[in-house]
Amino acid sequence: MGSARKPSRQTRAWQSDEDYIRDQDETSSWSSKGSVWGEAAAYKFMTFGKWLGDRLCHDDKVADFGGNDGYAAYHFYVIHKVKPLVVDCEPKRIDHAGKVFKMPTYQSFIEAMPELKDKSIDWGFTSHTLEHTRDTAQALREIARVIKRGCYFVVPLEGLHHARKNHAHSICFTKVKDWVRMLEENGWKVINQEKFGSHEVQMYAEPA
């Protein structure tokens, strides 16, 4: 039952979609503008493609959920010759992804992506996006709905004090097992996981 769960790790709530988008725009780095986060996301996305190996086919559908301005998706395309769909709620970044990087785009909150059909995306990637979602459980269920084969999740390990310093963050966990439980309670089977330092965990999961 829900009452058995540990105290909520929700860090912030927004009064409207407009307030939420404004905080994301003002507080989150643009991936392509000299951002360490952007370079790291691009590297992880490219590495995920290499890890998939022969499982990644030229006509597969790939999506970057919370794909920011398309920087990571573009670098994935350069290496793997597959153009990922960039999904993001922030209109200026989606516009940049389409116009500058020539990536296919979908402006949407990942908690609800009605234009994407069930199992219409083979592979998904999401780097430091889940901690920004207003309803993380629903976001995970929605990604599981549209993913056919598997998704790579990169999430932070941080406490409430640190998370509340970032006005774009909405949820936090300090332990890998809590993120694993969050995924597995919301439509996923975690196949493997790896902790990097004390601040990040990367997980590959498939729809349950």
pLDDT for the residue 162: 67
195: in domain: yes
23: in domain: yes
Domain span including residue 112: 11-27+39-207
Say which CATH number the domain at 79 has: 3.40.50.150
* Each residue's pLDDT expressed in tens, for the chain with a length of 208 residues: 343 444 456 666 777 888 788 877 777 777 877 778 889 999 999 999 999 999 999 999 999 999 999 999 999 999 999 999 999 999 999 999 999 999 999 999 999 999 999 999 999 999 999 998 989 999 999 999 999 999 999 999 987 666 666 667 778 898 999 999 999 999 999 999 999 988 999 999 999 9
Inter-residue contact 143 to 111 (CB < 8 Å): no
Counting the structural domains of the chain, the total is 1
pLDDT for the residue 36: 85
One-letter amino acid identity for 126? T
34: in domain: no
75: in domain: yes
Strand partners, 152: 125, 204
Longest dimension (CA), the chain: 48
Inter-residue contact 84 to 162 (CB < 8 Å): no
3: in domain: no
6: in domain: no
pLDDT for the residue 16: 83
1: in domain: no
pLDDT for the residue 10: 67
Q: What is the pTM of this model?
A: 0.89
5: in domain: no
